[in-house]
Chain A
Amino acid sequence: MSLILYGVCERGPEPPPGQGLGGRPLRPVTAGDLTAIVSEAPDDLAVHEGALRIYARVVESLEALGTVLPARFGTRLANDQAATRLLVERRDRFVAALARVQGAAEMGIRATAPLPEPSAAHGDPGRAYLLGRLEQRRRAEQLAARIDQTVSGVVRQSIVRVMPRSGTLLQASYLVTRDAIDTFAGRIAELGEFGLAVTGPWPPYSFVESA
Chain B
Amino acid sequence: MSSAATITSSRPSGSPVDGQDVALIDLLDRLLQGGVAIQGDITLSAAGIDLVALDLRVVIAAIDTLRTPCR
Taking Cβ atoms with an 8 Å cutoff, the residues of A that contact B are 5, 7-8, 44-50, 52-53, 55-57, 60, 69-77, 86, 94, 106-108, 110, 112, 165-168, 171, 181, 185-186, 189, 193-202, 205-209, 211
Closest to A113 in B: B1
Q: Across the A-B interface, how many residue pairs have beta carbons closer than 8 Å?
A: 158
Knowing A50-B71, A202-B30, say if A75 contacts B38 (CB, 8 Å). Answer: yes
In the complex, what residues of B have CB within 8 A of residue A202's CB? 16, 30
Knowing A48-B46, A72-B37, say if A199 contacts B16 (CB, 8 Å). Answer: yes
Give a binary string over B27-50; 1 marks a CB under 8 Å from any A CB, 0 the rest.
111111111111001111110000
Report B16 CB to chain A, min CB distance, Å.
5
Closest to B60 in A: A165
In contact, A5 and B36 (Cβ under 8 angstroms):
yes
In contact, B68 and A53 (Cβ under 8 angstroms):
no
In contact, B41 and A205 (Cβ under 8 angstroms):
no
Report B67 CB to chain A, min CB distance, Å.
6
Say which size band chain B's interface belongs to: 35 or more
In contact, A199 and B26 (Cβ under 8 angstroms):
yes
Knowing A52-B28, A55-B31, A56-B17, say if A76 contacts B41 (CB, 8 Å). Answer: yes
In this complex, which of A47, A52, A110 has the most chain B Cβ atoms within 10 angstroms of its Cβ? A47
Closest to A57 in B: B17
